Amino acid sequence: MKKHLDEDDGSLISDPLFQRLFRLFLLFAEPIDTTIKAPASGTSKNRALQYISAAQAHFIINELFRLIRPRCSTLQIPQQSERVTFRELIELCDLVFPDRKQLEPVVDRVFDRYVSQIVYKGFVMCRKMPGRINCGTKKSKKAWKSYWCTLVPGTVFLWPLHKKTTVANRRAIELDSNSMVHMGTFEEDRFTWQLYTSKSKYQFGHFDEIQRQHWITDMNLVIDYRNKSDLYEFDKEFSKRPENMGKEKDSSWKLALESDNQRLTQLLNEERRALYDEEIVRELATRMLDEERERSERLEKQVLELETQLQNEKAKNTELKQKLPNGNERHEEEENNIDRRIQKQLTLNHKTPSEDTYTDEYEICEVDEEEENITPQISLTQLDYLVISTQSI
C-alpha cells in the first residue's frame, strides 16, 4: 500500500481497493460547508472538499479490524484531527493493516454492508413451520433444506443450493412491522431460531451457535429498518458516536505500535529461520567439500606410492635381465669343476701301494690341476694292465 501513498490522488482512485474505500469514505463524508448539500453524483472538486470526522474514521477502521480479528476487542487508534481526509484515512489503514492481502476481503465485506446494504449473507438451513405462533414444543415434520441467504432491508432472500442462482429460483420473505425473531433450541444437531411474519413462520438452523447469534441480530436490524434510507441514516448516526474514539492517546499509540511490532517480529523470525536454514546448507556443503578434498588427497597419495613401487619393480627387472647371461656362464664353470674333481678322485682310488712300479706305464702329465684344470689321460696299454691286475687280485 505504501507505494500508492507516494502517488497523486488520481493514482489512488485508480486502484480497485482504494475505490471501494473511497466509496465508503463518500458514504459518511460531509462537505466543508455544512449548509451546502453535496450532490449525489458529486464532482471531483466537491469530493476533494469532503471529509469525515475522527469518530467516523475510527468506526471504519474498527469495522475492518473486527472482521479480521473477531475475538479481539475494538482497536484503539491514534487520535486524529476533527476532520479526516481520504488520504489520512488511507494512511490509517496502512498503519493498522500493512498486509494488503489481509485487507482486501474485509474491505469487500464492509463495502457490501454499508454501500450495497447487504446486512448479512451466508449458508443456512430453513424449513417452513405450520401455523404462525405457538409454543414451539412440537417439532416440524418437514425436512431441512439448505439455502444461500442474504439479508437486505425489509427482505430475506433464499436461493436453494440445488438450483441455479437466478431471480426465478429466488425465494423472498417480506418483513413487516409485525415480524419478529425468536431464539430456538438445539434440535437435530442444529442451533435453531424462528422468524415470524404476518403470513407464515420459518425455522432456521445452523451448526454454529455464534453464527446463529449473528443471524438473529441482523434479522432484527432489517426488521427495524425496512428501507435503505432508514438503514443509511442509522449507520451514519451510529458511526458518529463518540465511543468509537480511543479514550487515551498514549494507549492508542501503544496498541498501534504493538501491532506494527508484532508484524516486524514475525518478519524477523522468518528471516532468522531462513538464515538458519541457509547456514545449515552452507555447513553441509563445506563438509562435503572437505570430505571430497581429503578423499582426493588420499587418492593422489596412493597414486604416487603405486608409481614409486612400479618404478622400483622396473629397475629390479632391468637389473635381473642384465645379470642373467653372466649367471649362466658361472653355472657351467662350476659344473665343470665338479666333474674334474670327481674324475680325479676316481683316478686316485685305482692306484696300488707300489705306485713307483707303475710310473713307467702311466703317462701322466704333471700339471697343476688347480692352475691348468686338465684331466690326465690313460692309454690302452695301461688300461689292459689294470684289467689283468684286477683279475689276478
Domain-wise residue ranges, the chain: 1-116, 118-247, 354-392
Q: Which of 84-98, 136-150, 284-298, 307-321 has the highest mean pLDDT?
A: 284-298
How far is the C-alpha of 92 from the C-alpha of 84, rounded, in Å?
10
pLDDT above 50 (res 218): yes
pLDDT tens column, 305-362: 999 999 898 888 888 888 776 555 665 676 677 777 766 766 665 554 444 444 444 4
Question: Which has more confidence, 333 or 146?
Answer: 146
The pLDDT assigned to 217 comes to 93
pLDDT above 50 (res 383): yes
pLDDT tens column, 35-93: 545 444 444 445 555 888 888 888 888 888 888 876 665 555 555 567 888 888 888 88
How far is the C-alpha of 223 from the C-alpha of 178, rounded, in Å?
9
**Residue with the three cell numbers 491514534:** 78
Question: Which has more confidence, 367 or 393?
Answer: 393
**Residue with the three cell numbers 703317462:** 363
How far is the C-alpha of 368 from the C-alpha of 35, rounded, in Å?
162
Question: Which has more confidence, 330 or 214?
Answer: 214
Q: Which of 139-153, 236-250, 328-342, 361-375 has the highest mean pLDDT?
A: 139-153
The pLDDT assigned to 392 comes to 61
**Residue with the three cell numbers 500493512:** 98
The pLDDT assigned to 203 comes to 93
pLDDT above 50 (res 294): yes
Average pLDDT over the chain reads 77
Three-state secondary structure of the chain: CHHHHCCCHHHHHHCHHHHHHHHHHHHHCECCCCCCCCCCCCCHHHHHCCEEEHHHHHHHHHHHHHHHCCCCCCCCCCCCCCEECHHHHHHHHHHHCCCHHHHHHHHHHHHHHHCCCCCEEEEEEEEEECCCCCCCCCCCCCCCEEEEEEEECCEEEEEECCCCCCCCCCEEEECCCCCEEEEEEEECCEEEEEEECCCCEEEEEECCHHHHHHHHHHHHHHHHCCCHHHHHHHHHHHHCCHHHCCCCHHHHHHHHHHHHHHHHHHHHHHHHHHHHHHHHHHHHHHHHHHHHHHHHHHHHHHHHHHHHHHHHHHHHHHHHHHHHHHHHHHHHHHHHHHHHHHHHHHHHHCCCCCHHHHCCCCCCCCCCHHHHCCCCCCCHHHHHHHHHHHHHC
Mean pLDDT of the 199-224 span: 92
The pLDDT assigned to 119 comes to 92
Is 1.10.10.10 the CATH number for 118-247? no
CA distance from start to end of the chain: 145
pTM, to two decimals: 0.55
> Phi then psi for 71, rounded to 5 degrees?
-90, -5
The pLDDT assigned to 43 comes to 46
pLDDT above 50 (res 367): no
**Residue with the three cell numbers 458518529:** 240
Cβ-defined contacts of 363-369 (< 8 Å, 24+): 369/340, 369/344
Q: Which residues pair with 361 in a beta bridge?
A: none
Mean pLDDT of the 162-186 span: 90
The pLDDT assigned to 231 comes to 92
Q: Which residues pair with 145 in a beta bridge?
A: 126
Give the lowest-confidence range in 205-209, 240-244, 269-273.
Answer: 240-244
> Phi then psi for 191, rounded to 5 degrees?
-90, 120
Q: Residues for the chain: how many in total?
A: 393
CA atoms within 13 A on the CB side of 32: 6
Mean pLDDT of the 298-302 span: 92
The pLDDT assigned to 60 comes to 87
The pLDDT assigned to 41 comes to 44
The pLDDT assigned to 215 comes to 94
Mean pLDDT of the 160-189 span: 90
Question: Which has more confidence, 224 or 331?
Answer: 224
CA 170, chain centre distance (Å): 44
For CA atoms 121, 125, 128, 133, the dihedral sign is negative
